[in-house]
Amino acid sequence: MNEEIISKATLITNPFNIRYLTGFMTPTPHERSAYLLIINDAWRLIVPPLYEHEANIIQQTHPQTRVCLLTPENPLGKILASHQTSYSSLEVESQSLTYKEYQDIQLALPNVKIVPSNGWIETQRTKKTKEEIQWIKEAARLTDKCFMLLQTNIREGMSETDIAWMIERYIREHDGHIAFSPIVAFNEHSALPHYIPQHNTHLSKNSLILVDFGAAIHGYHADMTRIIFFGTSKNEWTRVHDIVKRAHDEAETCLTHNNAGSEADRQAKEIISNAGYPPYPHSLGHGVGLEIHERPQLSSYKDETIEDGMVFTIEPAIYLPNKFGIRIEDLYLKTSSGLQKLSQSPYVNHI
């Protein structure tokens, strides 16, 4: 390696960013099992011996990458210090670096300035490659197929966890993984945006079911929310569903002609407020890719431009505590010719 001092090295600690740059991943995606040190065009993939074999495969396909083993005798600080003469400052990911890691780095590199990253990898990840888009589309298709299964297999007396398990089993049996633990909420439970299904809540006739789930293919996710009316729908359920669908469609139209996620969020919430209901307490949508929630964020509090190649959700909702909630969520790809909707499941579902 050239021993000339360079201005900056970068330490990557976010496992999804490491996966994005190198392809290295573990069976547990959120596990902190590796570090990536970037010094110009020389990369050091730092892993424990448990993952030495997987890391060596990465080394074979990425010529600029060399594997360093992380052991009690060779901790992170010692590895970083061995390259200390190569850089004068170290960029770190402040959103994922732990305080203990920060302390260890400071101790190991007393003469190196530690600076926060500007999120350049997350910015790069927002625009999907053709291969990434293909995997996301496959995940969306599997999600739609799973929803078709639900419509023909949900029965009275099932619990919320019964249906959640039906979702997980179908996706796993069809060569996918679950993007996140499925949300299955009956009646008043649907008013809780991030509800955890219960095994002792059983389905009865004339109920509302909210399902929010997605498949993942090659680590790339899909995300969709639908409402199922099991039996006879109450008039208010139908009315609120229509309002949320109008807000959804308005946001879609807005993003077809305007690249501002903040404006789409504002318009969707305005439709809901004008109808006399409280607007949803979250953003209109979020980016989807290696993570189920990533950039861009479609929010009136966030000024992010929706650009070609981005994949994101549109998910307006109305939540009425102790009564019910309606959320409609679709997955979209922004292209040069407009929006491409990747979710194809029907909106009005009676079983």
Residuewise pLDDT in 10s, the chain (351 residues)? 344 455 689 999 999 999 999 999 887 777 788 999 999 888 999 999 999 999 999 988 888 899 999 999 999 999 999 887 778 899 999 999 999 999 999 999 999 999 999 999 999 999 999 999 999 999 999 999 999 999 999 999 999 999 999 999 999 999 999 999 999 999 999 999 999 999 999 999 999 999 999 999 999 999 999 999 999 999 999 999 999 999 999 999 999 988 899 999 999 999 999 999 999 999 999 999 999 999 999 999 988 899 999 999 999 999 999 999 999 999 999 999 999 999 999 998 999
Longest CA span, the chain: 74
Instruction: Report the CATH fold assignment for 130-350.
Output: Creatine Amidinohydrolase (3.90.230)
Which of 213, 202, 116 shows the shortest CA–CA distance to 159? 202
Q: Report pLDDT for 333.
A: 98
Domain 9-124 sits in CATH at 3.40.350.10
d(CA 224, CA 343): 7
> Computed from CA positions of residues 261, 264, 266, 269, in that sequence, does the dihedral angle turn out positive or negative?
negative
Domain spans, the chain: 9-124, 130-350
Which of 311, 319, 343, 347 shows the shortest CA–CA distance to 330? 343
Q: Report pLDDT for 8.
A: 80
- Give 192's contacts (C-beta < 8 A, 6+ positions apart): 185, 319, 325
Q: Report pLDDT for 3.
A: 44
Tokens representing 289 are 């890719």
Q: Report pLDDT for 40.
A: 85
121 close to 21: Cβ distance less than 8 angstroms: yes
* DSSP at 349: E
